[in-house]
Chains A and B, each alone.
Chain A
């Protein structure tokens, strides 16, 4: 097992005229290969800021983010694209792209100046389609498929980008329970079969508890990273929502409404 990304005494937040707005500080998180890691926290707690900071989009207030032992700010865009791929929540702009073409765009960091696919690129794209079990969709247009299928296509695109770390921003948002579970299982399978590290933010806490290897819980007071069972025994989930009506049942491993 190898550490792909880690943060050292990282402080995240925004710089404003009145001074720094600190969202969280002294974060020491590690992301190892072959791990499925869930990031959870209430709305507005700063999950997006954390993701933006560790993907190098936003600069940290203090501390550092290391990707393969090199500070992420020192990466050129193309090098970064070969080490880190994203699956975002935003809607895709209208286009006529087929599923195959969309997944093949993931090869951009490796292709020549016009983006010609080499036989090796095509092998990688087909591998990504096979891993996500969407080969039968390859010739469909991306707007012809369901939300659940589209999410798999976007994951396949990230796989085709061939990076040791994949970060997904709320990949299960628009899906029903069946598709949520199948997506989580797919992510789990991918970490086991490809030894990639996959980090995703989610609000499906009970599913994440059951399926992820590690979880990061964000609350206003602290940010903790551990295996789900350890977090349960430490009682970390109780701090997640400041509401007397929502209680975490440690035995069942899920939240209960009083």
Chain B
């Protein structure tokens, strides 16, 4: 089996790449910390400068872990959506989840002026924003689940998701129309995404949700493979379509919803990474795609994070801009190079 050997080499390369990127992301930034010091610090030793130790534990390490969680979670939810909707351009956002999150955050940031002052402080704290965005995406998730129970056709769910998306986007624009410049700036800031600023407590919550979503996704590997032949064949092979669909949508929502809540809407990862994995491994078998998408997602978001940190410079770029700048050309290149996108 030539394929098996090739896959083993690819997986090994990806694993080593992940490790390197993880260290690089901690080491590089406005202050560059030598690899050796990062290693010493992470393995429980004392870095030679106390400031380095402080930066690593309080800024760089949480950020790197968030990048891994965001990368794996969004990529896997993209993979699930692409197979479920038999649509190569589907991503976690097609269900309208991020729009829901945006709506929640928009209500809090842009509508805070209408709240009494003590509520305003709570609402505008970072917890308030996380809560609002979680509520927003959960609301859209519940609506999508409700509708998907009534609809037999999977394509209809896709359209319903898109409709929820445009509906919430419209409300957000109405809200921005009535808001002050300061509020608008804050909202724009959130919508650009941010991997940093997460406390260890928030990271724990995010990690639990992402791992839960990933476990549900891993449990859907067999149904996803059956769905490669279409729903009717999948049914004839003993698959309970309704249940499988529910689990897949639920897993996506948990992944995309929790990540958007903590890191903002991060573009293109969910759409582009599964394609990169599919092209590299030349397969549709989800047993292989699951792990390769997972690894690629982590590596690519870590890479985008390093770029956004602008090593050697004092400025930091928004992560969402970087993922789009890297992601959009990749998707176009994929479309052009491969006429029938799998």
Give me the interface of A with B, judged by CB distance under 8 Å: 55, 57, 77-82, 84-86, 88, 90, 92-97, 101-102, 105-106, 108-109, 111, 113-116, 143, 161
A94 in contact with B341 given A86-B233, A105-B228, A114-B222 (CB within 8 Å): yes
A94 in contact with B86 given A102-B229, A111-B222 (CB within 8 Å): yes
A114 to B237, CA, bound (A): 14
B298 to chain A, nearest CB (A): 21
Determine whether the beta carbon of A108 is less than 8 Å from that of B341.
Answer: no
B237 — nearest CB in chain A belongs to which residue?
Answer: A108
A101 to B221, CA, bound (A): 14
8 A-B pairs in the complex with CB atoms less than 8 angstroms apart: A79-B238, A80-B238, A86-B236, A93-B230, A96-B278, A96-B282, A96-B342, A105-B229
**New A-B pairs, 9, CB < 8 Å, besides A94-B341, A109-B237:** A94-B86, A96-B283, A106-B237, A108-B225, A111-B222, A113-B222, A114-B218, A115-B225, A116-B287
- What does the 1/0 interface line of B219-233 toward A look like (CB < 8 Å)? 101100110111011
B229 contacts across to A, CB distance below 8 A: 92-93, 102, 105
B4 to chain A, nearest CB (A): 13
A105 contacts across to B, CB distance below 8 A: 225-226, 228-229, 233, 237
A116 — nearest CB in chain B belongs to which residue?
Answer: B287
Determine whether the beta carbon of B230 is less than 8 Å from that of A81.
Answer: no
B19 to chain A, nearest CB (A): 26
A161 — nearest CB in chain B belongs to which residue?
Answer: B237
A141 to B219, CA, bound (A): 26
> Is B202 on the interface with A (CB-CB < 8 A)?
no
B51 to chain A, nearest CB (A): 47
Determine whether the beta carbon of A81 is less than 8 Å from that of B236.
Answer: yes
Determine whether the beta carbon of A97 is less than 8 Å from that of B239.
Answer: no
Determine whether the beta carbon of A108 is less than 8 Å from that of B235.
Answer: no
Determine whether the beta carbon of A93 is less than 8 Å from that of B228.
Answer: yes
Determine whether the beta carbon of B228 is less than 8 Å from that of A95.
Answer: yes
B311 to chain A, nearest CB (A): 37
A256 to B177, CA, bound (A): 74
A80 to B226, CA, bound (A): 16
Determine whether the beta carbon of B284 is less than 8 Å from that of A97.
Answer: yes
> Is B240 on the interface with A (CB-CB < 8 A)?
yes
A interface: dominant SS: loop
B43 contacts across to A, CB distance below 8 A: none
Segment 191-220 of B: residues with Cβ below 8 Å from A: 218-219
Q: Identify A114's interface contact among B221, B232, B282, B342, CB under 8 A.
A: B221
Determine whether the beta carbon of B236 is less than 8 Å from that of A85.
Answer: yes
A77 in contact with B239 given A96-B283, A114-B287 (CB within 8 Å): yes
Q: Identify A77's interface contact among B86, B219, B222, B238, CB under 8 A.
A: B238
B190 to chain A, nearest CB (A): 36
A101 in contact with B285 given A82-B238, A94-B342, A96-B278 (CB within 8 Å): yes
A77 to B86, CA, bound (A): 23
> Is B88 on the interface with A (CB-CB < 8 A)?
yes
A95 to B219, CA, bound (A): 21
B230 — nearest CB in chain A belongs to which residue?
Answer: A93
A163 — nearest CB in chain B belongs to which residue?
Answer: B236
Determine whether the beta carbon of B238 is less than 8 Å from that of A94.
Answer: no
- What does the 1/0 interface line of B268-299 toward A look like (CB < 8 Å)? 00000000001000111101000000000000
Determine whether the beta carbon of A81 is less than 8 Å from that of B225.
Answer: no
The 7 A-B pairs at the shortest CB distance, nearest first, are namely: A81-B238, A78-B238, A96-B284, A115-B222, A95-B284, A93-B86, A86-B236
> Is B340 on the interface with A (CB-CB < 8 A)?
yes
A109 contacts across to B, CB distance below 8 A: 237-238
Determine whether the beta carbon of B86 is less than 8 Å from that of A81.
Answer: no
A82 to B287, CA, bound (A): 23
Determine whether the beta carbon of B219 is less than 8 Å from that of A113.
Answer: yes
B316 to chain A, nearest CB (A): 39
A57 to B88, CA, bound (A): 29
B284 contacts across to A, CB distance below 8 A: 95-97, 101
B340 contacts across to A, CB distance below 8 A: 94, 143
A230 to B182, CA, bound (A): 87
- What does the 1/0 interface line of B33-69 toward A look like (CB < 8 Å)? 0000000000000000000000000000000000000
A111 — nearest CB in chain B belongs to which residue?
Answer: B222
A11 to chain B, nearest CB (A): 24
Q: Identify A88's interface contact among B233, B285, B287, CB under 8 A.
A: B233
A86 contacts across to B, CB distance below 8 A: 232-233, 236
B228 — nearest CB in chain A belongs to which residue?
Answer: A95
A108 in contact with B287 given A88-B232, A95-B342 (CB within 8 Å): no
B232 contacts across to A, CB distance below 8 A: 86, 88, 90
A158 — nearest CB in chain B belongs to which residue?
Answer: B236
Q: Identify A115's interface contact among B86, B221, B282, CB under 8 A.
A: B221
A84 contacts across to B, CB distance below 8 A: 236
A189 to B58, CA, bound (A): 71
A94 contacts across to B, CB distance below 8 A: 86, 88, 340-342
Q: Select the residue from B237, B284, B287, B340 with max chain A CB neighbours within 10 A.
A: B237
A113 to B218, CA, bound (A): 10
A109 to B225, CA, bound (A): 13
B234 — nearest CB in chain A belongs to which residue?
Answer: A108
